[in-house]
Amino acid sequence: MPEVDLLRSLPRVKRNIQKRAEGKDPTVVAIAKEYGEMYWDGPRAYGYGGYRYDGRWRSVARDIIAHYGLRPGSRVLDVGCGKGFLVKDLMLECPGLEAFGLDISLYALMHCEKEVVGRLHLGSAEKLPFPNRSFDCVLSLNTIHNLPRPRAARAMQEIQRLSDGKAFVQVDSYRTPQEKEIFESWVLTAEFHDYPSGWVKLFQEAGYTGDYYWTIID
Ligand SMILES: C[S@@+](CC[C@H](N)C(=O)[O-])C[C@H]1O[C@@H](n2cnc3c(N)ncnc32)[C@H](O)[C@@H]1O
């Protein structure tokens, strides 16, 4: 279960932590957790503030393909695929790759990239509607922390079941009390978060043997 930073090539996002903290209230949080239009394409206070395809996942897709030795015909699933940007970029970087996604957000799937129409499934990470070992690689980026701990553990079991450990999961975390404080003023949707050691404990409890890394706001 190695730590590997497969999102290292993403541009660093400048976040206005203070503005988010000031704008956050229970109504904003509840609306964000619907993962509807406001979360994706509404004002920044509710989530992404407008999430459009800009090709930023192509270099990540390249690194994932190289790391897992994926080839034309390999089957990849992105759990929490949103609008399918990574699914699209995996197929652009490796023509012939069979990439699929799953997400709980109907809005995201209804606003996906045209190249991935028919490849994205509506569902929840803790109940993946696919047979055992049906993918050569399962990915889940910045999604599993959106489930409460018991459901997050079930989601990790599901990822293990589909991938037999050929998987990469990235989740929200923090290394210090200062980073935890910054994270807590920023976060809208996470139901479970912890220091890396707490996450590793959850992964072990779930029997997850794949790779992982942390999204840390500093
Ligand atoms: C921060 S976004 C990440 C999207 C994409 N993976 C990325 O990194 O850009 C969180 C995603 O988790 C999805 N999500 C939240 N709860 C989920 C669940 N129980 N099962 C599947 N997806 C979920 C949301 O709809 C959203 O697409």
CA–CA separation, 185 and 18 (whole Å):
8
Name the residue type at position 131: P
The closest of 83, 80, 82, 115 to 97, measured between CA atoms, is 115
How confident is the model over 44-77, as pLDDT tens digits?
999 999 999 999 999 999 999 999 999 999 999 9
Distance 81 CA to ligand 1 centre (A): 6
> What's the gap in Å between 117 CA and the centre of ligand 1?
18
Q: What's the token pair of residue 175?
A: 């290394």
Tens of pLDDT, residues 137-179: 999 999 999 999 999 999 999 999 999 999 999 999 999 999 9
Atom of ligand 1 nearest to the CA of 147: 19
Atom of ligand 1 nearest to the CA of 57: 9
* pLDDT, tens digit, 9 for 90 and up, residues 70-100: 999 999 999 999 999 999 999 999 999 999 9
**Best residue for ligand 1 mutational test, from 83, 146, 214 (most atoms within 8 Å of Cβ):** 146
> CA torsion 59→62→63→64, rounded to 10°?
120
C-alpha span between 104 and 31 (Å, rounded): 14
pTM over 0.85: yes
pLDDT band at residue 1, thresholds of 50, 70 and 90? low
Token pair 């079930």: residue: 154
CB-based pocket (< 6 A), ligand 1: 35, 80, 82, 103-105, 108, 124-125, 141-143, 146-147
